[in-house]
Amino acid sequence: MDAGEGRPQPHLAALVLARGGSKGIPLKNIKLLAGVPLIGWVLRAAIDAGVFHSIWVSTDHDEIEKVAKQFGAQVHRRSPEVSQDSSTSLEAITEFLNHHHEVDIVGNIQATSPCLHPSDLIKVADLIQKEGFDSVFSVVRRHQFRWSEVKKGENKMTEPQNLNPAKRYRRQDWPGELYENGSFYFAKRHLIEKGYLQGGKMAYYEMRAEHSVDIDIDIDWPIAEQRVLSFGYFGKEPLKEVKLLVCSIDGCLTNGRIYVTEDHKEMVSYDYRDIVGIDLLKKRGIQVRLISDRDCSKTLSAMQLGCVAKVNATNKLQVLKDWQEDMGLSWKEVAYLGNEESDVECLKQAGMSGVPADACAAAQKAAGYICKSRGGCGAVREFAEHIFLLLEKVNSARKQLEEISSAGKERGRNENSRKGNKELMEKE
C-alpha cells in the first residue's frame, strides 16, 4: 500500500488483546460462539477488510495462540507484567508497540465484539489514513432515559438527567445519545506513547445497534449466539441455500465405536435425535448422503435411513465432487459433516462445514462450525439446526435485497413520472 506521491502509507496494525485469565468466563476468547471461537469472528472481519498491514493477537496463553494462528493472525506473546487482572489495555498496547517499531497506527479490536463487519473497519481506516484523524472509536446510539443515582441512606430524590418528565420524548422524536460500545479504538503511535487511546483530532464511528454486541458474562452467550447468526459476518462469499448435506458415518452419525459379537457380527449405536435431524433436513428439501471409508453397508441397511450412501470410499473428496457435479450444485450449496483426517479436504471444499465436538484436531481446524455435541450423540441434529438458522439468514438477506430493489424501481418510476410531468408543463 502507498499514500500517493511516492510516500509509504503509515503501517496500520490490527491488534486483538486476548488474555487467558478471564475471570468471568474461563478462556472466553476461544470459547465457541455459534460454532466459531469467539476471537475468530473479529479476526475474520479484520482480515477480509483488507486495510491492515498486519493483524496481531496479543496473548499469554498457548491455546489462544494456536487458535489465532489458525485464523491467520500473527501472535505477540505478552509479558506477565501486562497479563494481570489489574493490567490495562493501554499497558498491553504500549508493550506491543515497544516490540514492533514498524507500526504507526494501532486498531485495537475487542475480541468480545463478534458482530463486527469489515465495512466498519474499512470506514474507520479511511478516517485515520485519509481524513487525518488521530484517534477513532466506536459508539452506538441508545434511546435510554437516565436518572441520578440515590444511594442507600441518602435523604434526597432522584433527578432526571436527560429528559423533562413533564414532556417525555417519543422514541421517534428523540435522536438518542451516543455511548462507547468498546468494539474498537484506533489511535496513532504518538498518542499511545503519551498514554492516550483517545485524543488529538478525535472522531467517533457510529455502529449499527444490531452489530453492537459485547460479551461480558456467561448469561450473554445464548443471546449473542442468536445475534451473531442473524447479524454476524460469515465471510466474503454470500451465503447460499444448502441443497446437499454429506455426513461421514463413523464418528458423526455414530460415536465411532464398533462392537463385535462372539459370532463376529458388528454393532454400532446411534442417537435417535440424529435420525430426526436427517428427517427434518429432508423435509426442508435438503438431500442427505452418507459416506464412509469402510464397508458398513449392513449397518446402513439395518438403520433404514433411506439415504444415498457410499462405503469403502478411498477418496472422499472425489466422491463429494462427483455428487456435487451430478446434482449441478455450486460448492456454496454443499454442506459437509466430518470428523477425521480423511474428511479434511471435504471440509475445506464445502460451502458449509462442521465437525462433532470430539473430532480430530485437523478436522476442527478445517471446519467452519464445531458442534457442542459429540459424534453419535446429537451432532447431526445440531448441525442440521445450524443449517436451518443460516438458511433463515439467507432468506432474510434475499428479502432485504428484494425490498431494496423494489424501492429502487419505485424511485425510478417516480423520477420518470416527475420528468414526464415537467416536460408536459414545458410544452404547455
Catalytic residues: 168
The CB-based long-range contact list for 219-226 (8 Å cut-off, 24+ gap) reads 221/25, 221/31, 221/33, 224/33, 224/114, 225/33, 225/34
Q: From CA 350, how far away is CA 275, in angstroms rounded?
A: 22
The Cα–Cα gap between 380 and 354 comes to 9
CA pair distance 424, 238, nearest whole angstrom: 45
CB 334 within 8 A of CB 325: no
Per the listing, cell 499514500 goes with: 3
Q: How many CB atoms lie within 10 A of CB 65?
A: 19
Question: How many of the other CB atoms lie within 10 Å of CB of 327?
Answer: 13
DSSP one-letter code for 267: E
Rounded distance between C-alpha atoms, residue 338 and residue 357, angstroms:
11
Closest C-alpha among 42, 204, 209 to residue 110: 42
Tell me how far apart the alpha carbons of residues 269 and 257 are, in angstroms, rounded to a whole number. 8
**Beta bridge partners of residue 289, listed in sequence order:** 246, 308
Exposure string for 135-150, b = 16+ CB within 10 A, e = fewer? bbbbbbeeeeeeeeee
- Count of C-beta atoms within a 10 Å radius of residue 329: 17
Block residue for cell numbers 435411513: 305
Give just the sign of the alpha carbon dihedral 361, 363, 366, 371.
negative
Q: Match 434511546 to its residue by C-alpha cell.
A: 143
